[in-house]
Amino acid sequence: MAVLASVALLLAGCPAEPRAPEGNGDRPIAAGDRYVALGDSYTAGYLTGALDPDSGGCLRSLDNYPRRLARALDLELTDVSCGGATTEHVTTVQAPSHGSAVPPQIDAVGEDTALVTIGLGGNDFNLFGVLIVSCVLAAQQDPAGSPCSDLVAENPEALDNVGKIRDRLVEVVGAVRDRAPEARVLLVGYPQPFPASTGCDQLPLADGDVPFAHDALISLNSAVASAARKTGAEYVDVGRASEGHDICSAEPWIAGATPPRTDGAAYHPYPEEQELVADLLLGVLESEGERD
């Protein structure tokens, strides 16, 4: 109950924030520029391509969206995304569930870094774990009800973790700018894994908790967008662009509980989603980079 309650106010969203006066790096990105990708498993893209042999327990794909973007623009990529990463692992050592500990992701950023993408926040406060583990277990006891939503409603004193995720992302952008003041910084939102109202076999949530999960991801993306507004970074709206390709859709871009394909891990992106993100980033970088 305590874990479920920690997301109680996710649905409340984030307050509007003023744009930071320093703005974002505006220099056009050119071939040969140094690009650093910070992120969690949705950036690492496990199983969406051949495994990077140097990624250890981080399980990065050689065909994830940072690799696709780097190839398209001929950039010098350093990809330090890592499965299970939280915003705290930008500045602290991470010990993946498999493999050796990895250095803080911020160590990859230097003064010569021209572009940084950040795809983090979903693992903070165990948000994804609650939705795809705790809520799924609760559904076994009450499949036709709304056990996750009910437990949240019974705990009105739960913390507003959306605001905390936003503030942590603001700190991440600040850490990046401390090391690379001229870098162009893009905050990457999450795809929408959950349908708006009706579940399916690949998404074993209780009937009444499907809308809860859907709205929680909208609120998570609101936190990412709010952090971009507050820091003057650019927000990449993957959630809106991926609508209609949730786990239960006819053409899912996110794998479900028991993926029928071998190119995606459970509750994680398929290659189509990684291609989408790369295309969205490419569109932003080849335009004048209008802010969110």
- Residue 155: pLDDT band (50, 70, 90) is low
Two structure tokens written together for 256: 């479900």
Q: Residue range 201-227: average pLDDT?
A: 95
Is residue 205 classed exposed, middle or buried when 0-12, 13-18 and 19+ CB atoms within 10 A define those classes? buried
Q: What are phi and psi of 50, to 5 degrees?
A: -60, 145
Is residue 6 scored above 60 in pLDDT? no
Give the chain's count of helices (H) and strands (E). Answer: 10, 5
> Rounded distance, CA 142 to CA 132, Å?
15
Is residue 153 scored above 50 in pLDDT? yes
Two structure tokens written together for 135: 């809520």
CB atoms under 10 Å from CB of 146, counted, come to 21
The CATH number of residue 116's host domain is: 3.40.50.1110
Q: Is 21 part of any domain?
A: no
Two structure tokens written together for 31: 């071939």
Q: Residue range 2-9: average pLDDT?
A: 46
The pLDDT of residue 205 is 96
Lowest-pLDDT range, 100-104, 151-155, 180-184, 216-220? 151-155
Q: Residue range 254-269: average pLDDT?
A: 97
Looking at the structure of the chain, the number of domains it has is 1
Q: Is 67 part of any domain?
A: yes
The pLDDT of residue 22 is 54
Q: Is 169 part of any domain?
A: yes
Two structure tokens written together for 237: 């709206």
**Closest CA relative to residue 169, chosen from 128, 116, 212:** 116
Two structure tokens written together for 119: 């795809």
Bridge-based pairing of strands 234-236 and 184-188 is parallel
Two structure tokens written together for 99: 């493999």
CB atoms under 10 Å from CB of 200, counted, come to 16
Average pLDDT over all residues of the chain: 90
Using one digit for the tens of pLDDT, what is the confidence trace for 66-90? 999 999 999 999 999 999 999 999 9
> pTM (2 decimals)?
0.91
SS (H, E, C) 225-275: HHHHHHHCCEEECHHHHCCCCCCCCCCCCECCCCCCCCCCCCCCECHHHHH
Contacts of 123 (CB under 8 A, 6+ apart): 40, 84, 85, 86, 129
Structural domain boundaries enclosing 218: 2-12+30-285
Q: Residue range 144-165: average pLDDT?
A: 75
The pLDDT of residue 98 is 83
CB atoms under 10 Å from CB of 80, counted, come to 26
β strands within the chain, DSSP E: 34-39, 76-79, 113-119, 184-188, 234-236
CB atoms under 10 Å from CB of 78, counted, come to 19
Q: Residue range 265-278: average pLDDT?
A: 98
- Residue 23: pLDDT band (50, 70, 90) is low
Q: Residue range 89-113: average pLDDT?
A: 96
Is residue 157 scored above 90 in pLDDT? no
Q: Residue range 112-118: average pLDDT?
A: 98
User: Which of the pair, 159 or 242, is modelled with greater confidence?
Assistant: 242
Q: Residue range 196-223: average pLDDT?
A: 95
The pLDDT of residue 289 is 43
Q: Is 190 part of any domain?
A: yes
Q: What percent of the chain has pLDDT over 90?
A: 78
Two structure tokens written together for 165: 């995720």
The pLDDT of residue 95 is 95
Q: Residue range 106-121: average pLDDT?
A: 98
- State the DSSP string of 66-85: HHHHHHHHT-EEEE---TT-
Taking the CA atoms of the chain, what radius of gyration do you get in angstroms? 18
The pLDDT of residue 163 is 84
The pLDDT of residue 12 is 47
Sign of CA dihedral 239, 240, 246, 252: negative
Is residue 2 scored above 60 in pLDDT? no
Is residue 265 scored above 60 in pLDDT? yes
Two structure tokens written together for 185: 């910084």
Q: What percent of the chain has pLDDT over 70?
A: 87
Helices 210-231 and 161-179 cross at an angle (nearest 10°) of 40
Q: Is 131 part of any domain?
A: yes
- Residue 160: pLDDT band (50, 70, 90) is low
Two structure tokens written together for 262: 């071998």
Helix (H), strand (E) at residue 5: helix 2-5
Q: Is 24 part of any domain?
A: no
